[in-house]
Chain A
Amino acid sequence: MSILIGRDTRLVVSGITGREGEFHSRAMLEYGTNIVAGMTPGKGGQLALDGRVPVFNTLAEAVRETGANTSCIFVPAAGAPDSILEAVAAGIETIFCITEGIPALDMIPAVEAVRQAGARLIGPNCPGATSPGRAKVGIIPGSVHREGRVGVVSRSGTLTYEAVQAMSDAGLGQSTCVGIGGDPIIGTTFLDILQLFAQDPETEAIVMIGEIGGAAEEEAARWAGEHLRHVPMAAFIAGRTAPEGKRMGHAGAIISGGSGTAASKVAALEAAGIRVAGSPTELPALIREAGYRG
Chain B
Amino acid sequence: MKIQEADAKSLLLAQGLPVPAWAVARTPAEARTAAERFLAPGSGMVVIKAQVLVGGRGKAGGVKLAATAQEAEAVAGRILGMSIKGITVRKVLVAPAAEIVKEYYLSAVLDRAARRIMLMGSAEGGVEIEQVAVENPAAIIRIHADPFLGLQDWQARQLVFALGLGAHLKAGVAIARGLVRTMLANDADLVEINPLAIVRETSADGTAVERLVCLDAKVTLDDSALPRHPELEALRDLDEEDPTDLEARAAGISFIKLDGTIGCMVNGAGLAMTTMDLVKRAGGEPANFLDIGGGARADKVTAAMRLILADPKVNAILVNIFGGITRGDEVARGLIEARAQQTRSVPMVVRIVGTNAAEAAPLLREARFETAATLDEAAVKAVAASHAATAAGHAATAAAAGPGASGPATGADR
Contacts and interface: CB of A to CB of B under 8 A. Distances in A.
Contact of A278 (B222, B281, B294, B324): B281
Contact of A157 (B128, B148, B294): B294
Contacts of A252: 112
Interface in B302-325: 322-325
B308 to A, nearest CB: 16
Interface in B100-124: 110, 112-113, 115-117
Interface stretch (B5-13, B15-23, B89-97, B181-189): B181-189
Interface stretch (A46-54, A86-94, A96-104, A145-153): A96-104
Interface string A72-112: 00000110000000000000000000000111111111011
B224 A154 contact: no
Interface residues of B, number: 52
Contact of A249 (B116, B254, B277): B254
B354 A184 contact: no
Interface class of chain A by DSSP: loop
Interface in A248-294: 248-253, 257-259, 278-281
Contacts of A112: 115, 147-148
Contact of B277 (A139, A143, A216, A241): A241
A103 B222 contact: yes
Contact of A108 (B115, B254, B276, B278): B115
Interface string B244-286: 0000000000101010000000111111111011111100001
Interface stretch (A30-38, A206-214, A222-230): A206-214
A193 to B, nearest CB: 15
Contact of A211 (B112, B267, B270): B270
A253 B228 CA distance: 22
B130 A158 contact: no
B392 interface: no
Nearest to A246: B256
A214 to B, nearest CB: 5
B413 to A, nearest CB: 19
Q: Which one of B267, B269, B272, B325 has the greatest number of beta carbons of chain A within 10 Å?
A: B269
Contacts of A246: 256, 289
Contacts of B113: 214-216, 219
A23 B327 CA distance: 13
A132 B156 CA distance: 50
A279 B377 CA distance: 11
Contacts of A214: 112-113
B224 A251 contact: yes
A143 B322 CA distance: 12
B112 A216 contact: yes
B155 interface: no
15 contacts: A101-B224, A106-B225, A108-B117, A157-B268, A157-B269, A157-B294, A159-B270, A161-B322, A216-B112, A243-B256, A246-B289, A257-B130, A280-B274, A280-B375, A281-B374
